[in-house]
Chain A
Amino acid sequence: MPSRHRAFLIIAALGLLAVASIGLALMVGSLRIAPADVLAALAGQEGNGVDVVLQLRLPRALAGFACGGLLALAGALMQVLLRNPLADPYVLGISGGAGVGALLAILLGWPVLGVDALAFAGALGAMLLVFGLAHGDGSWTQSRLLLTGVIVAAGCGALVALMLTLAPDDRLRGMLFWLMGDLAQAGSAGPSLLALGGALLLAMPFARELNLLARGLMQAQALGVAVNRLRYAIFLLASLATAASVTTAGSIGFVGLVVPHLVRLATGNDQRLLLPASVLAGGSLLVLADTLARTLIAPQQLPVGVLTALIGVPVFLFLLSRQPK
């Protein structure tokens, strides 16, 4: 168990990493901007590339940070809720529902706002469907919840494939980028940052109860946790966090699965540290991946979801192979 002092140091170090990753994202790109100019732009002074920093790179970096943080938080919560280390934010079909909504909107030729709205509606629809079906007979067990989520996700996957098949060629590229996750489509960072702050604030008071929940339902209840209420709340919170992220940037893979594991290996499984540390690490990782995505083969941009998966898969396999039995 980390002492409060050690927890503070870890959070502070990750906070610096987050600031550094955002700083890097503001400097590099097709137009390189010196650190002094970035600082000047942030301070509101005239200088080199002010518009690029404030209008293009800052909103994108902040949106990336918010989405990475939301995904890592949702992943950590889902892993506790399902008591399954392999759970991720998408395992219960939230991204599938959002995908169906977003692709339908793109297929219909709706503007960006309409795509976002329909994606969010799809995510909520999938969430309610999974909740209703899994809760149907009141048993609400982990395996029932997991199976329902996986099945709903599979159904959404089929609908997505159907729409990709039917889509005219000129819309196909936009649909694929949405599915792979892409921060270029992120508009203003405000709503997602707000969602991140709210979700973390709501989760933190229950962090120690989540530690107990991870050890078993009966065990947690015997130690004084109102288990059913907590599980409903965590399901809602993790689902809404996922929906907020997916609506902003599409289904970016692996951040929600890998980041909680990386943090867990470094700091242990105390949610009081794991949740805020995952938010900072997830946000930083996504900002760095996005910076790579738009600079690697510039001027062409890669979808950031491809990069997080390309980084995430080997890291995860490595962790899995060295984890003690």
Chain B
Amino acid sequence: MSAPLLAACGLAVDIAGRRVVDGLDFGLAGGERLAILGRNGAGKSTLLNTLAGLRPVAAGAVLLDGEDCALLSPRDAARRRAWLGQFQNDPFGSTVLETALTGRHPHLGRWAWESTRDGELARSALAAVGLAGMEQRQIHTLSGGERQRLAIATLLAQAAPLYLLDEPLAHLDLNHQMAVLELFAGAARDCGAAVVMVLHDPALAHRFCDRALLLHGDGRSEIGAVDAILNAKKLSELYGYALRQIDDGGRRCFIPE
């Protein structure tokens, strides 16, 4: 059996000297989807950045495809995982297509220019998030939701087998929220991609992920299958607010009391 696409071994994460995640162990194989849930400031984004190798670990290790992330070159890591950050800001102008093409960077040699095939990959990534026909638009004319979908298209153009998504639904309307979640569910099902996403809606986490990781923010964390771990009792404790659980067929939703 091959190594999992992503593995955490005894992983610890510190924020400003405070340990927010401690002794975290898990492995994620191709086709699996993991949701990360927790309160604001619980360390969800910091953990995701650490898993992406963008931040040094406080203890333990992150393995990408069986190799220690800290030892991989940035370029090598970029071909193994794609990372979606929470904030995009663009001091300089650029077109939508140019931005999507930046996803091809780790696949291009130092002197190479983007080929026709890279252009096609970027265009089809834009089409996949509903931005077809906007290739020549300047990015500062986009709405927040369009900018977010462009960031997702850039990620798709990167064509890495592992997606690490920090609040992929930010700024998106309901219809595009579902489209983006369906998109990554499809990537996991059909292309064998592994997906980790930080989400704020436990119902969507239950519906679109196989497992969930709950971060309590004080070093404690729990991981388990969504059916077992996403229930009223655990989530009420996680968010510090009483929640009522409603099951409807295979779906589950949570209503604040």
**How many of B's residues come within 8 Å of A, CB to CB?**
39
Instruction: Report if A224-B78 is in contact (Cβ < 8 Å); known contacts: A4-B113, A269-B94.
Output: yes
Contact A270 B49, beta carbon cutoff 8 Å: no
Q: Give the residue name and chain of the B residue nearest to A222 (CB).
A: B83
* Interface-located stretch among A54-62, A129-137, A208-216, A281-289: A208-216
Q: How far is the CA of A182 from the CA of B73 in the complex (A)?
A: 46
A147 to chain B, nearest CB (A): 17
Residue pairs across A and B with Cβ atoms less than 8 A apart, 12 shown, are A3-B113, A211-B102, A215-B90, A218-B49, A223-B103, A223-B105, A223-B158, A224-B78, A224-B106, A226-B74, A269-B92, A270-B98
Which of B85, B94, B141 contacts A218, CB < 8 Å? B85
Q: Give the residue name and chain of the B residue nearest to A226 (CB).
A: B74
A72 to chain B, nearest CB (A): 16
Which of B78, B113, B138 contacts A223, CB < 8 Å? B78
Q: How far is the CA of A79 from the CA of B91 in the complex (A)?
A: 10
Instruction: Report if A216-B88 is in contact (Cβ < 8 Å); known contacts: A221-B74, A223-B103, A224-B74.
Output: yes
Contact A222 B73, beta carbon cutoff 8 Å: no
B139 to chain A, nearest CB (A): 10
In chain B, positions 48-63 with a C-beta closer than 8 Å to chain A are 49, 52, 54
Give the 9 A-B residue pairs with the shortest CB-CB distance, closest first.
A224-B78, A224-B75, A224-B106, A222-B83, A269-B92, A1-B98, A223-B105, A224-B74, A226-B74
A216 to chain B, nearest CB (A): 7
Query: B63-104 toward A: CB 8 Å interface, digit per residue (1/0)?
Result: 000000000011111110011010111111111011101110
Contact B91 A83, beta carbon cutoff 8 Å: yes
Contact B89 A214, beta carbon cutoff 8 Å: no
**How many of A's residues come within 8 Å of B, CB to CB?**
31
In chain A, positions 1-39 with a C-beta closer than 8 Å to chain B are 1, 3-4
Q: Give the residue name and chain of the A residue nearest to B113 (CB).
A: A4
Query: A98-128 toward B: CB 8 Å interface, digit per residue (1/0)?
Result: 0000000000000000000000000000000
Contact B101 A226, beta carbon cutoff 8 Å: no
Residue B171 CB within 8 A of the other chain: no
In chain A, positions 197-254 with a C-beta closer than 8 Å to chain B are 205, 208-209, 211-212, 214-216, 218-219, 221-227
Contact B101 A1, beta carbon cutoff 8 Å: yes
Contact A218 B102, beta carbon cutoff 8 Å: no
Contacting residues, chain B, for A324 (C-beta < 8 A) = 138, 140-141
Contacting residues, chain B, for A270 (C-beta < 8 A) = 98
Which of B87, B95, B105 contacts A224, CB < 8 Å? B105
Residue A85 CB within 8 A of the other chain: yes
Residue A144 CB within 8 A of the other chain: no
Contact A226 B73, beta carbon cutoff 8 Å: yes
Contacting residues, chain B, for A224 (C-beta < 8 A) = 73-79, 105-106
Contact A85 B111, beta carbon cutoff 8 Å: no
B221 to chain A, nearest CB (A): 23
Q: How far is the CA of A84 from the CA of B92 in the complex (A)?
A: 8
A83 to chain B, nearest CB (A): 5
Contacting residues, chain A, for B75 (C-beta < 8 A) = 224
Residue B110 CB within 8 A of the other chain: yes
Contact B110 A218, beta carbon cutoff 8 Å: no
Residue B114 CB within 8 A of the other chain: yes
Contacting residues, chain A, for B9 (C-beta < 8 A) = none
Residue B225 CB within 8 A of the other chain: no
Contact B106 A214, beta carbon cutoff 8 Å: no
